[in-house]
Structure 1
């Protein structure tokens, strides 16, 4: 029966990653086996007290870990709820975010380009979900950061529906060589939500993590 007690104790480690109901069940099984063995142990072969102590310590440790995890989850949920509340005044504001996608909102989108450096020009491309180029333009970079505004039209001049589109920006040096350059996108925040324990901002149909927020723009 000592083998059964050891097995019940080992189950506690697995229960630490499960739920409290599983732990309680394993703990009750362990106590039942332990009590039964204590009642029926042989005087010539008594229960190993070291093994019993180790198993009790193991269960106590797992119970403490699950309690700590439960409390930590509650603290995280409260913190996320506070962040959602704090994000409420941002709804309707224009913001700048780090993203490789852009939200076309009411036929308008903006990509923010850096000042000229090793790159003198930027090749900006807007693509659909399948990677097909919808709009492409070469933009000269200046002494200061500037925006490239997209009017929502494709290469043929057709107006596209509001939604999320991929963005590719490639810098070009004075001799036409490719240069990596950073860029950002701008748009209007339309919501904030928590899904599966993760907080995100919404810019039309584009969903972004809070960490992608770079700046809140002045005005509306």
Structure 2
């Protein structure tokens, strides 16, 4: 399966360069004023050398700080690029992620449910973009993890388009009372992207944060 790996950078480095340019202009103006003042100072009231030295030190300190920030931005950009590159082998892999959306890919979607505990059953509801329930099913939990698959058809048997669908899972106890339940969504990773300093993975029409990745599945 084809995939994409892209990266975007922030404007912080450009801002640092602008600040450095502005500082350079201010520093040159300061030196011009200082030279003029030295040339025209009164012999009876000479320029305070301590004050002049302090001003020079302040300019030098700010300039060094801006240069340090620029170097840090370069390191961050390199690290971000390496993270995107490192994500490339994940393209085409099936994985489990935490998400409140279900990814329908090639007419198939999969939900991973835990073993029975306080919750004995799980009520699964799939919602479209308008919030309308397109599929609802009650799943009995077993002694081990349970996979619930969806063939992409709504309750009337109509085949829906691939994409991301909201999913709601409600656990029910032995007496039908609501019980806490956790679940993960399984799908194939189709892309990786870094936007605004955050790494995201694409699984068809669904995007999740890289920190949502829980497990890579065998049999890819």
Q: Please give the TM-score of this superposition, normalised by the length of structure 1.
A: 0.80
User: Helix, strand or coil: the match of 1:57?
Assistant: helix
User: Helix, strand or coil: the match of 2:130?
Assistant: coil
The Cα of 1:25 is off from its aligned counterpart by: 2.4
Contact 2:201 2:208 in 1 (8 A): yes
Aligned: 1:94 with 2:94: yes
Larger mean Cα displacement after TM superposition, 182-191 or 122-131: 122-131
Aligned: 1:147 with 2:147: yes
Which runs of 5 or more residues in structure 2 are unaligned? Answer: 1-14
Structure 2 counterparts to residues 62-73 of structure 1, below 5 A: 62-73=62-73
Corresponding residue of 1:60: 60
The Cα of 1:44 is off from its aligned counterpart by: 5.7
User: Helix, strand or coil: the match of 1:19?
Assistant: helix
Corresponding residue of 1:136: 136
Structure 2 counterparts to residues 165-204 of structure 1, below 5 A: 165-204=165-204
The Cα of 1:112 is off from its aligned counterpart by: 1.1
Show CA shifts across 1:54-109 (max 9, x none). Answer: 44333333322222222222222222222222222221111111211121100111
Aligned: 1:77 with 2:77: yes
Contact 2:113 2:146 in 1 (8 A): yes
Larger mean Cα displacement after TM superposition, 209-218 or 125-134: 125-134
Counterpart CA distance in 2 for 1:17 and 1:169 is 50
User: Helix, strand or coil: the match of 1:129?
Assistant: coil
Aligned: 1:111 with 2:111: yes
The Cα of 1:169 is off from its aligned counterpart by: 1.6
Aligned residues: 206
Which runs of 5 or more residues in structure 1 are unaligned? Answer: 1-14
Contact 1:16 1:62 in 2 (8 A): no
Structure-2 change in CA distance of 1:84 and 1:175 (3 Å): same
Counterpart CA distance in 2 for 1:96 and 1:203 is 10
